[in-house]
Chains A and B, each alone.
Chain A
Amino acid sequence: MLALPCPHCGTRDEAEFQFGGEPAVRPPSSVSDTVWADYLYMRRNEKGAHRELWCHAGGCGQWFVLTRDTATHAVLP
């Protein structure tokens, strides 16, 4: 069981959270198909430190960015 730090509620069990993917900035719709596909589909998918979005969906609903080690699952500072 992971214990994840909600910025509003503090440390809670993973069952209360929903993973939200890698953070990204949406490009304008005028970009090429390649740039759009890169934004929409391509992922860094790192082994090790991984910046990711989470939502405290079963709690306060807060979205936040977390850095987590995908090999050990440790939440990194």
Chain B
Amino acid sequence: MSRTPFRTRYSAASLLRQGLGGHTGWGEAWRAPSPKPRYDFVIIGGGGHGLATAYYLAKLHGANRVAVLEKGWIGGGNTGRNTTIVRSNYFFPQSAALYDHALQLYEGLSQDLNYNIMLSQRGVVTVAHSNHDMELMARSVNAMLINGIEVELLDADGVHREVKIANRDPDARYPIHGGFVQRRGGIARHDAVAWGYARAADALGVDIIQNCEVTGFRFDGSRVVGVETSLGPIAAGRVGMAVAGHSGVLAAKAGFKLPIQSYALQAMVTEPVKPLLDTVILSSSTGIYCSQSDKGEMVFGAGLDLYPSYAQRGNLPVGQTIVAALLEMFPRFRTLKLLRQWAGIVDVCWDYSPLIGPSPVDGLFLNCGWGTGGFKAIPAGGWLLAHILATGRHHPISAPFDLDRFTTGRLIDEAAGAGIAH
């Protein structure tokens, strides 16, 4: 693989040199170009998936006329609103292949992008609260092992060794019976993923155009041949869309519907405290997932707001449930103050698996339906959409996630693997 031609390659030496100069000479990390009238590939959506798509198109497929159109600022949607967890502990082989491809790309991403995404493979512990939970978890763990995903089943003592501050009260409403851990899972700095892909794509000639909203599609007969935007029309050989919660809005502009409903998914952080949680912990029963950021904040979330929403704030009843779930797992956190609460709009498919591949309209390709788990999949989502855009064909990993599964009935039902209470 050729080296990406960065204007400034980030290194210890460049940090020292810039430090001696008072950090005044770094320059811009990517350009702010005006849109050209025509591109070979137009990617709608400047989140992680869209930027990764553009990067892999340029890097792996030699595309040199690529644009990413972002209606706001890059990484300002779900890429900047998630809880930064990465893992590949899924039940079905199709999902394991997909999410582990993402995790493997994450493992090399800081080097590949010359940008520290602060990947911390601190392990992801999922807990069980009853004997019945444990039996189902053992079945899931066996499926994951067959899928080639290394995971370990834990008894209650094992969970408490991994997560020393978890609730040990035997009279707890949700006592911990055991769990399992994927040690390659963990967290990564979500903004750095967007910025790293943006900088590397820009260095390979991709035009990243912010504040450019796609308002419609241009057709030649039944084929999409470009987009209408707030900055004027842009012609395109092929168009890819990676717009998460707004997929249905764009699909309507192109004249089709998707098997997707958009919901608000909340997340919160507490005030920062000293290090006391060195892993990621999830409970499917209470819905909680929590990790401690490098700044010391407890970053957590749980279930969806269970009615369609495009409001990026989340409702109070579900917010209270999320906090209650956190305090069930970590009673000592009751003294912490909440610092921030927000929501992202997630695009949930009926089988909690994504949609990757051609849309019902010629010339337009989909990367959506990631629902509550899009961040962990960013490198694979981009890598696969780039493959499909460049070759016009599915990759074996993406083929099972084609839209046609909703007609053939070959759903990939990852309601449990999604790890979120629905």
Give A contacts to B, CB under 8 Å.
1-2, 14-15, 18-19, 21, 33-34, 37-38, 40-47, 50, 52, 70-73
Known: A34-B407, A43-B248. Contact between A50 and B317, CB under 8 A?
no
On whether the beta carbons of B310 and A38 are closer than 8 Å, the reply is no
**With known contacts A34-B407, A70-B310, A47–B249 Cβ distance under 8 A:** yes
Given A15-B317, A45-B248, A46-B248, A37 contacting B406 (CB threshold 8 A): yes
Shortest C-beta distance, A72 to chain B (Å), equals: 7
Residue pair A45, B258 in contact (C-beta under 8 Å): yes
Residues of A near B306 (CB, < 8 A) are: 18-19
Cα A1 to Cα B316 in complex, Å, equals: 6
Given B252, B307, B316, B317, which contacts A46 in the complex, CB threshold below 8 Å?
Answer: B252
Q: What is the bound-complex CA distance between A18 and B306, given in angstroms?
A: 8
Min CB–CB distance A32 → chain B (angstroms): 9
Residue from B249, B309, B316, B350 whose CB has the most chain A CB atoms within 10 Å: B309
Question: B315 to A14, Cβ gap below 8 A?
Answer: yes
User: What are the residues of chain A within 8 A of B261 when measuring CB–CB?
Assistant: 21, 43, 45
Q: DSSP class of B's interface residues: helix, strand, loop or mixed?
A: mixed
Q: A1-B316, A42-B258, A72-B311 are in contact. Are A37 and B248 (CB under 8 A)?
A: no
Assembled-state Cα–Cα distance A2/B313 (Å):
13
A4: nearest residue on chain B (CB-CB)?
Answer: B307
| Sample (20) of A-B pairs whose CB atoms are under 8 Å apart | A1-B315, A33-B407, A34-B407, A38-B257, A41-B259, A41-B406, A42-B258, A43-B248, A43-B260, A45-B249, A45-B257, A45-B260, A45-B308, A47-B310, A52-B308, A70-B262, A70-B308, A70-B309, A71-B311, A73-B311
Given known A-B contacts A15-B317, A70-B310, A43 and B257 have beta carbons under 8 A apart: yes
Give A36's nearest chain B residue, CB to CB.
B407
Chain B residues contacting A43 (CB-CB under 8 Å) are 248, 257-261
A33–B408 touching, CB < 8 Å? yes
- Give the complex CA separation of A70 and B350 in angstroms: 19
A2 CA / B316 CA spacing, docked (Å): 9
Having A19-B306, A40-B406, A43-B261, one finds 8 other A-B pairs with CB under 8 Å, namely A1-B315, A14-B317, A37-B406, A41-B406, A45-B262, A45-B308, A47-B248, A52-B307
Instruction: Identify B307's interface contact among A19, A44, A72, CB under 8 A.
Output: A19
Q: What residue in chain A is nearest B316 (Cβ atoms)? A: A1
List, in ascending order, chain B residues with CB within 8 A of A18's CB: 306
Complex Cα distance A19/B264, Å?
14
Is B246 located at the chain interface by the 8 A CB criterion? yes
CA distance A33 to B407 in the complex (A): 6
A1 contact set on B, CB distance < 8 A? 315-317
Residue from A19, A37, A72 in contact with B407 in the complex, judged by beta carbons closer than 8 Å: A37
Give the residues from 120 to 161 in chain B that come closer than 8 angstroms, CB to CB, to chain A. Answer: none
Q: How many angstroms from the CA of A71 to the CA of B260 in the assembled complex?
A: 16
A28 CA / B260 CA spacing, docked (Å): 23
A73 and B259 form a contact (CB under 8 A): no
Closest to A2 in B: B315
Instruction: With both chains docked as a complex, state the minimum distance between the C-beta of A69 and any C-beta of chain B, in angstroms.
Output: 9
How many whole Å from A11's CB to the nearest CB in chain B? 16
Which residues of chain B are near A34, meaning CB under 8 Å? 407
Q: Are B310 and A42 in contact (CB under 8 A)?
A: no
Contact residues in B for A19 (Cβ distance below 8 Å): 306-308
Chain B residues positioned under 8 Å from A15 (CB to CB)? 317
Residue in B248, B308, B406 whose Cβ sees the most chain A Cβ within 10 Å: B308
- With both chains docked as a complex, state the minimum distance between the C-beta of A16 and any C-beta of chain B, in angstroms: 10
User: In the bound complex, how far is the Cα of B260 from the Cα of A34, in angstroms?
Assistant: 16
Q: How far is the CA of A71 from the CA of B258 in the complex (A)?
A: 19
Q: Is the CB of B259 within 8 A of A42?
A: yes
* Chain A residues with CB below 8 A from B308, complex form: 19, 45, 50, 52, 70
With A14-B317, A44-B252, A47-B249 in contact, do A73 and B309 touch (Cβ < 8 Å)? yes
